[in-house]
Amino acid sequence: MTFRPTTLERAYQLARGGECRTVSDIKQKLQAEGFERIQDSLYGPSLTSALRKLCQENFTGSVAADPSPEPSPAAGD
């Protein structure tokens, strides 16, 4: 038997995971993962504020997650 988290549990996982920058990003990801009734599950200013704060604290973004290496000086310069 495979355990699937509730919509609310998964929303918190996504907020802490660093992939989502906003609550809208979380909702889009949940929809893509097949969760239903997302608006009903993630309703209210306190919940939205908590998720937003977690997103801001944990968002890594593609630039931070994969920084470009510093160019090395050419040999013989």
52, pLDDT greater than 80: yes
> Where does residue 16 fall: left (phi above 0), alpha (psi -120 to 50 degrees), or beta otherwise?
alpha
Higher pLDDT, 33 or 72: 33
pLDDT digits (tens, 9 = 90+) for 6-50: 999 999 999 999 999 999 999 999 999 999 999 999 999 999 999
**CA–CA separation, 54 and 48 (whole Å):** 10
